[in-house]
Chain A
């Protein structure tokens, strides 16, 4: 059960679209159906003609799972246009209808969040003669410090549900320290899936190629749901969810081309460029903290004292005046922010440097909400003095709890 928790296709890595993942599969010799990436209805129709397959799948391309069971809405009116972000079309006309309903519209799925995602990309794929659907995933098992392969005969299903109800239906194998599956592991897995003869050979070969791809391209996850056994016994990847380990991007310059910036939060990308780690949340208290653990703890304490954090923001160990100014700007861009809590435990970062940066930043961005600053660690006394001697309206405190209490109270006061 605990294996499945690490499976989510999320911001833990760099995500790519299904059509891009399948292009990589082709390069690696992993069997996929013929398919064409499109961005317009005209292209979708041309793709249908070119594929020469009577039946095709019309697939929305977004960075979120659960597309098949999602719903498409008009972004302007909010009207429901179509159930299902992945459709099987039996004619040219159906391709046109589905493509029209998908492109330029918002797809809401279980994983997309309630706001959904705008679909700008479509994949038209030749139909497939399916004998059975399986599930296959490769990911990092942080408890075993190894690469884990998971497979199940219950393809097409929500794997979390399978894990919950029939954990015995999920088969697992781990790589050894050389990053390879032990030779017998692939065939053992094939057998436990009930694959025999040519299907078993097809499966084990595919598995070797996928593990090779996972390692050589520094993936953080490859998920194929469904992986299908076709009528002729061959195994075909009918889906692809691929994400990469961002820490390894320096080894793989080709990744830059696969990045779809429309799928990323613009403000988070901008924060990143300044060495900041920022995640927007729904509350009203902006946080500026050094260190990811302390930043999470600050959010937790704000909540304990009756407030709601507006963001996670770790300024990192290399913060300077410029990055702190950027951080203040990003926090204040959020119209819901009614107050800011700064929590710095100085180590390498000196509190007096942060104090001066706060004063400059507040001038530059025009600070208009209450500000509470908690300094501890390196040069905290100097930092407090700098703030207290400045013209800036700021409350200084010495503990995180006092800080949370003070910012919650200050916001209440403004409201009254």
Chain B
């Protein structure tokens, strides 16, 4: 088991004819993802060559979902078109299937575009958005698996740890940490660090709580906002599995934006210290050094009786 995607998921690539789209569609197929087609407005009828398969390009998501019966769409279109692409995907999934997962990799989408987008989707039962500005989601399988995004697939392995992270490469670090103690992953989700985005920590945690194969979770937060504090408060009342947590940005000075727009301490709020404290108060096991996430996870698994040594 896993959450939201598995080896049977059928995936569309929005922006498949662009260089990023083609590049990552290729990597996804190499990993084992069932890419069934792509969308680029005005290029319907073309075919994109991917390893071992040629996939059709459609001009609209409505047509693409109708023809391919896809469950998932991943978006690699430029920032100025990305919000419209998300809404198009949501409407198409809703109309044809009543449900669907949209993963938006694009970074640099205007915040107010995202507010409109999230507002549009929030009323749509069954439609889930991950991102934007994120590495995507991956469920490693026995042979390959399902990778929807830009993460290096080969660092993952099927296992029992769920990973949720606001950051990109730091997610890979967390994956490597679980691997360093011989643990694989059920599903890893990069939720993105933008101020306004789709799926948050709590949505992911709720899904991992329900997933019988996930036995422990690693959660990677970042300075800015209160998503970590909110997640911690939710965990205290609703989550039964062990969690290891890290928050990046303990040394970041207030008022300076660290890379993405979400990572900023303002008015003295949103500090790593507050987030670590909230984690601890909720019974989350913290690792202050990300190179020690594996070590802490191992200890936690042993304490929980999930591992001998």
Query: Which residues of chain A have a CB within 8 Å of any CB of chain B?
Result: 2, 4-8, 10-12, 111, 140, 142-143, 145-147, 160, 176-179, 215, 218, 220, 245-248, 250-251, 277, 279, 281, 289-297, 299-304, 309, 312, 314, 317, 345-348, 376-378, 399-402
Are A292 and B152 closer than 8 Å at their CB atoms?
A: no
Give the Cβ gap from A345 to chain B, nearest Cβ, in Å: 5
Question: A8-B255, A143-B230 are contacts. A292–B111 as well, Cβ < 8 Å?
Answer: no
Are A111 and B255 closer than 8 Å at their CB atoms?
A: yes
Are B222 and A140 closer than 8 Å at their CB atoms?
A: no
Task: Given A281-B251, A400-B290, output 7 extra A-B contacts at Cβ < 8 Å.
Answer: A5-B226, A5-B266, A10-B257, A143-B227, A279-B257, A293-B170, A293-B248
Give the Cβ gap from B107 to chain A, nearest Cβ, in Å: 9
Ordered nearest first, which 6 A-B pairs have the shortest CB separation?
Answer: A293-B167, A292-B259, A177-B119, A5-B269, A291-B169, A293-B170
Interface flags for B187-227 (1: CB within 8 Å of A; 0: not) read: 00000010110000000000000000000000010110111
Identify B223's interface contact among A11, A290, A296, A377, CB under 8 A: A296
Question: A11-B256, A247-B108, A300-B248 are contacts. A290–B169 as well, Cβ < 8 Å?
Answer: yes
B172 CB–A CB distance under 8 Å: yes
Query: Which residues of chain B have a CB within 8 Å of any CB of chain A?
Result: 79-80, 108-116, 118-120, 122, 135, 150-152, 155, 165-173, 176, 193, 195-196, 220, 222-223, 225-227, 230, 246, 248-264, 266-270, 272, 288-292
Main SS of the interface on chain A? mixed
Give the Cβ gap from B224 to chain A, nearest Cβ, in Å: 8
Which of B112, B250, B268, B270 has the most chain A CB within a 10 Å cutoff?
A: B112
Taking CB as reference atom, which chain B residue is nearest A8?
Answer: B266
Taking CB as reference atom, which chain B residue is nearest A175?
Answer: B115
Are A177 and B167 closer than 8 Å at their CB atoms?
A: no
Identify A4's interface contact among B108, B176, B269, B290, CB under 8 A: B269
Are B263 and A281 closer than 8 Å at their CB atoms?
A: no
Identify B118's interface contact among A145, A309, A377, CB under 8 A: A145
Give the Cβ gap from A264 to chain B, nearest Cβ, in Å: 13
CA distance A373 to B296 in the complex (A): 25
Are A11 and B119 closer than 8 Å at their CB atoms?
A: no
Give the Cβ gap from A225 to chain B, nearest Cβ, in Å: 14
Question: A145-B196, A247-B79, A378-B152 are contacts. A291–B110 as well, Cβ < 8 Å?
Answer: no
Give the Cβ gap from A25 to chain B, nearest Cβ, in Å: 19
Give the Cβ gap from A405 to chain B, nearest Cβ, in Å: 10
Are A347 and B110 closer than 8 Å at their CB atoms?
A: no
Are A400 and B119 closer than 8 Å at their CB atoms?
A: no
CB-defined contacts of A302 to chain B, threshold 8 Å: 251
Are A245 and B111 closer than 8 Å at their CB atoms?
A: yes
CA distance A111 to B115 in the complex (A): 29
CA distance A258 to B209 in the complex (A): 50
CB-defined contacts of A4 to chain B, threshold 8 Å: 267, 269
